[in-house]
């Protein structure tokens, strides 16, 4: 979008990914070209972006987009699709009742979308059956906040991370999951801030910390309770603060006395050295200004609420809340998880932090003019899909999320969707879930959406459109409003998104004498003022001022204004390991991918840090099972089986496995980690225990393997027993495969892959080593390359993949094509370390070997880490590892 002068138009918006909520500036060029930069004045990031945010411009193409409504796979008009969805929902409700329908929504939705979804389901359909995929991320923190503070209130702000003397990361690999915040804390650490990491894995966050407690899985509550007991013993609690502002201290003390709280007993139960536990307790006692961050590692547990409460208890007992640099701080995963929590996207809340207490419910019903407003919570995500599976729910609308991949036991989720009489999916792209849809509705994606999101520090920011809507895609709020109107409901006729936001803001202020979630200062925004809204933290007072920090006056949102400490008792995971499944499988996220890769999978640079599914395992466990680093391994649980590349590393505890959760059918159908996860939940929050499922692992033992490079992406060929992975490259698609069949199966695959390929064919075959190498060249350009072997030896793919960018292959390239590398050259860059500047591990290693001893020094030589800095923790780790090997000191600060 150039203006009349030809200059590119810069649009300020917010990043599509994590809960940091970074401000982004997009300079829009021709078509959908956009130059992305950090917004220098956005308070969340002050101009910084991580690798994912920096690559946003590479993800806005229209590949895989839904561009028109479809009914049973056939194109339909919006009028037809809207009418069908409205009719099927109405008919289902008429025949089977309000609770026979459900919405499953997403933290990718904007607040305006969330508000309309919730108003339609809870207000007018009259069922509580709307839940969000945020249930998978931070429902446990929400429940803990409500019990302790009286409402889902995040006390702190990012400035507290600058001001803290001590930051404790509980189950939070901030270096990978919230990189921009982590860089902020790295800067504070350089000024003397201390970092303690509580995590069974030695993550990049743990690697650079002052202290890492690699606790046994699910022993967090024991550790935090032990801390509180220790603080009491040494007189380091704030008795005045407790007397004035906190209830239940005595009950918590009494519950602590049920166990031996000595440091040695705690250390033994947590599986860590006594000295490490003592060091943590000393650091906590010494630092008034402590921020305790907690994220998925704490929340995704059958005791996630207790973990959050045990952290909050320590802060309430020491009065470290509502003060600069001191608070418990739940960090959210998604760009608008908070917006969903605020508007009632979760099944157990109504809207505006009102629940189902009769007076709350009646207030919301009056505001909406909706007498049928739900009177009870609906089904949470896991229960919702169980109800779909057993037939209680007969119509479901999935919005902007991919439960066929992301939910635990996702095989059962697929069965539920397949059996459901009516499935609607509104999304911007085709996903594993859209395969089950009767009706597909094309929604706007990032760069087209226009509305608001709330980040982890309660800061509301605008997402703005950079491009016009592609095809016939529409805003989610508008899709739902049209269905609601067609169902015959009043109150959905907004002229624009500003109207939706105004109504939402008015609801927060409606009859509000005590609710802190209050946007009264934003409830009369004109469309122009809404368009120009600057980032602001709620509560927003009537005069338009935001609020950085909550509970500054020691008053909470409980009836008596006092916070509540809640007794917490340590429990083991929901399912213990057994002889058949002796290990604990933990699933999580990686640095450069987001959710189910629908966006980040479009950016080749983001696919090369961890190109394919992997499983991390401790060296002794690997040795005991005959697994070597880089080989394929089978991971099996009571729910399913996956195959992934073994990464043998002592960063993993003995007995534990870790698998990233991102891969889908489109990229690696046999590498879907969440298909293995048991759907065990926290009984209060309903959040699944993604961090522990009993599992076993063994070598896959493929008999042949190979790769196929071609210009278009291919799905795994059906009917063959293959491990198939697709890795996007700049100029081609890399398909990796391995099998355990014989020559007949190899030949079958070769025929499928090469069918229809035209051009000059170059072939090398060696029956003795089972090698077959073929390349197709047409008009001087490389069309496809196929390498297969039974010996397991294959060249690196980097050079071959780069040849696809050449218009006219050189004679030298042609002559060495089937060697896989140019004469004398080392073509393998190793795994990508720096996604921004495409620097591989081999270049970083070479720089370190040549004497670079800090990330800055490595950056000077290679460029790695000099753009967004997301890879700096990894570079620091590589320096440390090389120093450890050579026994020389590292300076990795």
Closer of 27 and 516 to ligand SF4 (Cβ): 27
Q: Does 317 bind ligand SF4 (CB under 6 A)?
A: no
Closer of 182 and 422 to ligand SF4 (Cβ): 182
Distance in Å, CB of 418 to ligand SF4, minimum: 33
Distance in Å, CB of 178 to ligand SF4, minimum: 6
Q: Does 15 bind ligand SF4 (CB under 6 A)?
A: yes
Closer of 15 and 121 to ligand SF4 (Cβ): 15
For ligand SF4, the binding residue among 11, 17, 306, 319 (CB under 6 A) is 17
E strand spans, 711-759? 722-728, 733-739
Distance in Å, CB of 128 to ligand SF4, minimum: 31
| SS3 at position 195 | strand
* Residues of this chain, 797-816, that bind ligand SF4 according to CB under 6 A: none
Distance in Å, CB of 343 to ligand SF4, minimum: 20
Distance in Å, CB of 335 to ligand SF4, minimum: 7
The alpha carbon dihedral of 649, 650, 654, 659 has a sign of: negative
Distance in Å, CB of 53 to ligand SF4, minimum: 2
Q: Does 323 bind ligand SF4 (CB under 6 A)?
A: no
Q: Does 22 bind ligand SF4 (CB under 6 A)?
A: yes
Contact by Cβ (8 Å): 347, 130? yes
Distance in Å, CB of 3 to ligand SF4, minimum: 27
Please name the residues in contact with 565: beta carbons below 8 A apart, sequence gap of 6 or more: 148, 246, 247, 248, 249, 251, 252, 312, 313, 316, 317
CA gap 432, 70 in Å, rounded: 16
CA gap 589, 602 in Å, rounded: 17
CA gap 649, 296 in Å, rounded: 22
For ligand SF4, the binding residue among 98, 178, 449, 549 (CB under 6 A) is 178
Closer of 57 and 226 to ligand SF4 (Cβ): 57
Distance in Å, CB of 24 to ligand SF4, minimum: 7
* Residues of this chain, 507-566, that bind ligand SF4 according to CB under 6 A: none
Q: Does 180 bind ligand SF4 (CB under 6 A)?
A: yes
Q: Does 179 bind ligand SF4 (CB under 6 A)?
A: yes
Distance in Å, CB of 179 to ligand SF4, minimum: 5
Q: Does 158 bind ligand SF4 (CB under 6 A)?
A: no
Closer of 157 and 709 to ligand SF4 (Cβ): 157
Q: Does 18 bind ligand SF4 (CB under 6 A)?
A: yes
| SS3 at position 808 | coil
Closer of 52 and 459 to ligand SF4 (Cβ): 52
Closer of 438 and 592 to ligand SF4 (Cβ): 592
DSSP 669-716: GGG-GGGGS---B-TTT--B-TT-EEEEEEE---SEEEEEEESS--PP
Task: Give Cα 335 distance to the centre of its chain.
Answer: 9
# binding residues, ligand SF4 (CB under 6 A): 14
Q: Does 176 bind ligand SF4 (CB under 6 A)?
A: no
Total count of residues recorded for the chain: 893
The region of 157-165, 173-181, 768-776, 838-846 touching ligand SF4 under the rule CB under 6 A is 173-181
Distance in Å, CB of 594 to ligand SF4, minimum: 7
CA gap 311, 327 in Å, rounded: 10
* Residues of this chain, 27-86, that bind ligand SF4 according to CB under 6 A: 45, 49-50, 52-53
Q: Does 597 bind ligand SF4 (CB under 6 A)?
A: no
Closer of 370 and 832 to ligand SF4 (Cβ): 832
Running DSSP on this structure, what letter comes out for residue 216? Answer: P
Q: Does 20 bind ligand SF4 (CB under 6 A)?
A: yes
Distance in Å, CB of 299 to ligand SF4, minimum: 18
CA gap 673, 823 in Å, rounded: 40
Q: Does 841 bind ligand SF4 (CB under 6 A)?
A: no
Distance in Å, CB of 169 to ligand SF4, minimum: 15
Find residue 640's DSSP bridge partners.
Answer: 637
Element (H, E) at 304: helix 304-317
Task: Give Cα 354 distance to the centre of its chain.
Answer: 27
Between helix 841-849 and helix 855-862 the angle, nearest 10°, is 110
Contact by Cβ (8 Å): 365, 357? no
Closest CA to 869 of 855, 849, 882: 855
Residue of minimal Cβ distance to ligand SF4: 53
CA gap 852, 861 in Å, rounded: 8
Contact by Cβ (8 Å): 311, 331? no
Alpha helices in 67-130, H assignment, sequence order: 78-96, 111-118
Tokens 């100029």 correspond to 731
Contact by Cβ (8 Å): 229, 201? no
Closer of 26 and 200 to ligand SF4 (Cβ): 26
Question: For residue 672, what are its two tokens?
Answer: 């879907």
Q: Is 126 left (phi over 0), alpha (psi -120 to 50) or beta?
A: left
**Residues lying near ligand SF4 in the complex (CB under 6 A):** 15, 17-18, 20-22, 45, 49-50, 52-53, 178-180
């Amino acid at each position: 979008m150039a203006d009349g002068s030809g200059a590119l138009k810069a649009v300020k918006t917010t990043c599509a990914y994590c809960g940091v909520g970074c401000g982004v500036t997009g300079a829009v060029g021709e078509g959908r070209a956009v130059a992305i930069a950090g917004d220098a004045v956005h308070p969340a990031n002050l101009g910084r972006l991580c690798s994912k945010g920096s690559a946003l411009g590479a993800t806005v193409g229209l590949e895989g987009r839904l561009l028109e409504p479809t009914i049973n796979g056939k194109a339909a008009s919006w009028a037809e699709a809207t009418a069908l969805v409205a009719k099927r929902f109405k008919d289902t409700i008429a025949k089977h009742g309000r609770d026979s329908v459900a919405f499953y929504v997403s933290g990718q939705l904007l607040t305006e979308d969330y508000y309309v979804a919730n108003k339609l389901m809870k207000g007018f359909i009259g069922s509580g059956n709307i839940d969000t995929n945020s249930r998978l991320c931070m429902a446990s923190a929400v429940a803990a906040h409500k019990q302790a503070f009286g409402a889902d209130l995040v006390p702190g702000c990012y400035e507290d991370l600058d001001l803290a003397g001590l930051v404790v990361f509980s189950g939070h690999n901030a270096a990978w999951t919230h990189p921009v915040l982590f860089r902020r804390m790295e800067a504070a650490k350089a000024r003397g801030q201390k970092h303690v990491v509580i995590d069974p894995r030695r993550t990049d966050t743990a690697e650079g910390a002052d202290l890492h407690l690699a606790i046994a899985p699910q022993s967090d509550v024991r550790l935090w309770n032990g801390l509180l007991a220790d603080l009491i013993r040494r007189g380091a609690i704030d008795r005045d603060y407790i007397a004035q502002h906190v209830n239940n201290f005595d009950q918590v003390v009494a519950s602590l006395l049920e166990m031996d709280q000595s440091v040695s007993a705690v250390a033994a139960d947590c599986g860590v050295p006594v000295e490490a536990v003592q060091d943590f307790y000393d650091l906590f006692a010494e630092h008034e200004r402590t921020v305790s961050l907690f994220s998925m590692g704490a929340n995704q547990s059958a005791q996630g609420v207790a973990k959050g409460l045990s952290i909050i208890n320590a802060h309430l007992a020491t009065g470290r809340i509502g003060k600069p640099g001191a608070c418990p701080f739940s960090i959210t995963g998604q760009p608008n998880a908070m917006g969903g929590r605020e508007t009632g996207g979760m099944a157990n809340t109504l809207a505006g932090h009102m629940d189902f207490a009769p007076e709350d419910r009646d207030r919301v019903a009056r505001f909406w003019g909706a007498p049928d407003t739900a009177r009870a919570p609906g089904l949470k995500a896991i229960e919702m899909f169980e109800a779909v599976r057993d037939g209680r729910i007969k119509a479901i609308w999935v919005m902007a999320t991919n439960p066929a991949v992301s939910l635990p036991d996702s095989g059962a989720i697929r069965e539920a969707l397949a059996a459901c009489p009516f499935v609607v999916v509104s999304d911007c792209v085709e996903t594993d879930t859209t395969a089950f849809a009767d009706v597909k509705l094309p929604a706007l994606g990032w760069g087209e959406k226009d509305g608001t999101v709330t980040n982890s520090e309660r800061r509301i920011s605008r997402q703005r459109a950079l491009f016009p809507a592609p095809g016939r895609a529409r805003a989610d709020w508008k899709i739902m409003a049209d269905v609601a109107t067609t169902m015959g409901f009043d109150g959905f006729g907004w002229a624009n998104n500003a109207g939706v936001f105004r109504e939402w803001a008015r609801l927060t202020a409606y009859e509000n004498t005590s609710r802190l979630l209050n946007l009264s200062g934003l409830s009369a925004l004109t469309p122009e003022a809404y368009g120009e809204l600057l980032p602001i933290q709620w509560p927003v007072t009537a005069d338009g001022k935001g609020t950085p920090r909550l509970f500054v006056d020691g008053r909470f949102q409980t009836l008596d204004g006092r916070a509540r400490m809640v007794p917490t008792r340590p429990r083991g995971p929901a399912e213990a390991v057994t002889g058949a499944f002796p290990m604990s499988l933990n699933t999580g996220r990686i640095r450069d991918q987001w959710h189910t890769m629908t966006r980040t999978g479009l950016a080749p640079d983001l696919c090369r840090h961890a190109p394919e599914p992997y499983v991390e395992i401790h060296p002794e466990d690997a040795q005991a099972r005959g697994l070597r680093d880089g080989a394929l391994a089978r991971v099996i649980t009571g729910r399913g089986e996956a195959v992934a590349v073994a990464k043998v590393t002592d960063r993993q505890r003995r007995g534990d496995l870790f698998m990233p959760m991102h891969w889908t059918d489109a990229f690696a159908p046999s590498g879907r980690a969440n298909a293995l996860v048991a759907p065990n939940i926290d009984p209060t929050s309903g959040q699944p225990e993604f961090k522990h499922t009993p599992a076993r692992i063994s070598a896959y033992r493929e008999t042949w393997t190979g790769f196929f490079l071609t210009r278009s992406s291919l799905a795994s060929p059906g009917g063959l027993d293959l491990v198939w992975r697709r890795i996007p490259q700049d100029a081609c698609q890399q398909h990796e495969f391995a099998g355990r069949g014989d020559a007949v199966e190899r030949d079958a695959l070769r025929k499928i892959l090469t069918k229809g390929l035209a051009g000059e064919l170059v072939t090398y075959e060696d029956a003795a080593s089972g090698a077959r190498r073929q390349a197709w060249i047409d008009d001087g350009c490389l069309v496809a390359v196929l390498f297969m072997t039974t010996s397991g030896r294959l060249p690196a793919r980097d050079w071959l993949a780069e040849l696809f960018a050449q218009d006219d292959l050189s004679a030298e390239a042609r002559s060495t094509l089937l060697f896989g590398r140019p004469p004398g050259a080392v073509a393998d860059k190793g795994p990508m370390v720096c996604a921004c500047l495409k620097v591989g591990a081999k270049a970083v290693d070479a720089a370190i070997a040549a004497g670079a001893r800090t990330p800055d020094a490595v950056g000077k030589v290679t460029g790695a880490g000099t753009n967004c800095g997301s890879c700096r923790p990894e570079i620091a780790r590589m320096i440390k590892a090389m120093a450890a090997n050579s026994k020389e000191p590292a300076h990795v600060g």
